[in-house]
Chain A
Amino acid sequence: AQSVTQLDSQVPVFEEAPVELRCNYSSSVSVYLFWYVQYPNQGLQLLLKYLSGSTLVKGINGFEAEFNKSQTSFHLRKPSVHISDTAEYFCAVGGPGGFKTIFGAGTRLFVKA
């Protein structure tokens, strides 16, 4: 069975500081990995995804994530955050050929001025 653990429920950070949102997964098969973002009062939208190939994945709004198979991690990073990055971020895992995507519990990012 697959599972996703987001290690931080809330992350406060000052504007222009770097941030890392941590995600670990477990799976007995090869996986596809996703980060989604949910702004207040909106649905989720895709930030980035890893399917195969390069382990460093770049997404929208300056975010990137690195797939680490040995540590079963897919941490999300941004070198300099803006107030507008305040949102909830969800890590998710899906298997090849499967329909189900498993979502983590979410990490609330608060960017302070």
Chain B
Amino acid sequence: DVKVTQSSRYLVKRTGEKVFLECVQDMDHENMFWYRQDPGLGLRLIYFSYDVKMKEKGDIPEGYSVSREKKERFSLILESASTNQTSMYLCASSGSMQRGGTQYFGPGTRLLVL
């Protein structure tokens, strides 16, 4: 069965802290994505990666960075957390995008920045 796991379901951090969100997929997918989900805004793409060590900015990359050292793992980093980064963070992976690849999502990490 397809599986995407995220390191934490809930996280509370202080303003200015460095935050790491980890995502692991077991489907040997090339593509991985980080989204944030906010009420009324749907999902907004932060970053994606189509190969190891490759990354592309999404629609809202400011204040975030990512790392993909291994194919199965994609990390989202908040260099200095701010209260406006309080949100639900969703990781996803997909196979070939040439045919509109289905994305498989993790359960999400709800981050609260105080």
Task: Spell out A's residues near B (CB within 8 Å).
Answer: 6, 9, 32, 34, 36, 41-46, 49, 51, 90, 94, 96-101, 103-106
**B110 nearest CB across to chain A (Å):** 9
Complex alpha-carbon distance, A98 and B33, angstroms: 13
Interface residues on B, range: 20 to 34
Complex alpha-carbon distance, A44 and B35, angstroms: 11
Say if the beta carbon of B77 comes within 8 Å of chain A: no
Quick check: B42 and A103 within 8 Å, CB to CB? yes
- B42 proximity list for chain A (CB < 8 A): 6, 90, 103-106
- A90 proximity list for chain B (CB < 8 A): 42-43
Quick check: B98 and A96 within 8 Å, CB to CB? yes
Quick check: A98 and B97 within 8 Å, CB to CB? yes
Task: Spell out B's residues near A (CB within 8 Å).
Answer: 4, 31, 35, 40-45, 48, 50, 56, 58, 90, 92, 97-100, 102-108
Identify the closest chain B residue to A32 (Cβ).
B100
Starting from the known contacts A96-B99, A103-B44, 7 additional A-B residue pairs (CB-CB under 8 Å) come to A36-B105, A43-B106, A46-B104, A51-B99, A90-B43, A98-B97, A105-B42
Identify the closest chain A residue to B105 (Cβ).
A43
